[in-house]
Amino acid sequence: MIRSTPFIFWLCSLGSFRFLAMNTQGHGVVNVAALGAIAGPKLWLPILGGALLPDLPIFIFYAWVKFIEKLPDRTIWREAYYRPFWQAMVAIGHSMPLAGAIALLGYFINQPVLIWIGISAILHSLEDLPVHNHDAHRHFFPLSDYRFISPLSYWDPRHYGRWVSLAEWGLVLIASAFLWSGILPWAGRLVLVLINGSYGIGYAIFYGRKLWKTCAQSPSSSQRAPSQAAVSLKSD
Ligand SMILES: [Zn+2]
């Protein structure tokens, strides 16, 4: 599917698949809207940077195992992602103590850019916290290895992933409308359209395809218990 999709749509929908946190581009839109209203429009770039930074190790991980090690997606997200080295990198990216340290450093040396990078990275982690189940991050690393296992998931159908991802898209739409009504150049509006389009494409690909497969199953198989059907959906 990915290979046959034009590159720009592949790029946009990349973040809409299940392997990132709350979708990375969503963090960008929500953080710039929420924190930009406090910090002022001049600091949108460090806010955006802080919103994207926590997921950077995951992008590097994916590029490495996909294009260097050439692993299939199923192995990537079920095995390679849980290697200790990559788990440590992801934990560093999503560490609220480390992000707080960056913000504090910025405060003491009077660098607003660092302050807002740190604050935005903390907000990213707070956004991830309630929507990760078995793939929860260690947000208090290196002080603690504690993971908050939420009953909700931003992608997993067994943990209300369909509804959580829809709610996330709704939040991004509200933030987009807020930014759109501000002083936004045409390029910024184009990015918002692409991001929201990527949610639609990602949702259609990930859930629409699975829903179609489920509907196309034989009547006997569709009579399974909901939990069994959900497991089947995930393993497709
Ligand atoms: Zn994240």
Residue 219 lies in a domain: no
Rounded to the nearest angstrom, the distance between the alpha carbon of 152 and the centre of ligand 1 is 15
Query: Is there a domain that residue 200 lies in?
Result: no
- 110-140 burial, b at 16+ Cβ within 10 Å, e below that, comes to eeeebbbbbbbbbbbbebbbebbbebbbbbb
- What is the 60 CA–ligand 1 centroid distance (Å)? 13
Distance of CA 139 from the midpoint of ligand 1 (Å):
10
pLDDT tens per residue, range 155-198: 888 999 889 988 988 999 999 988 888 767 788 888 888 888 88
Residue 21 has pLDDT above 90, yes or no: no
Residue 233 lies in a domain: no
> Residue 220 and residue 222: Cα distance in Å, rounded?
5
Instruction: Say how many Å lie between the CA of residue 55 and the centre of ligand 1.
Output: 5
- Total number of domains in the chain: 1
Whether 138 is covered by a domain: the verdict is yes
Two structure tokens written together for 141: 């690393």
Q: Is residue 96 included in any domain, yes or no?
A: yes
CB atoms within 10 A of CB 12: 22
Residue 150: inside a domain: yes
Decide if 86 is inside a domain.
yes
Distance (angstroms) between ligand 1 centre and the Cα of 1 equals 25
Q: pTM above the 0.85 mark?
A: no
Q: How much is the pLDDT for 211?
A: 66
180 Cα–ligand 1 center, Å: 24
> Residue 42 falls within a domain, yes or no?
yes
Q: Specify the DSSP class assigned to residue 15.
A: T
For the chain, the average pLDDT equals 81
Determine the structural domain holding residue 69 and report its residue range: 19-187
Kindly give the residue spans of alpha helices, DSSP state H, lying in the chain: 7-14, 24-39, 44-52, 56-63, 73-78, 84-93, 96-108, 112-128, 161-181, 186-203, 209-216, 219-222, 226-234
Query: What's the gap in Å between 174 CA and the centre of ligand 1?
Result: 20
Ligand 1 centroid distance, CA of 214 (Å): 30
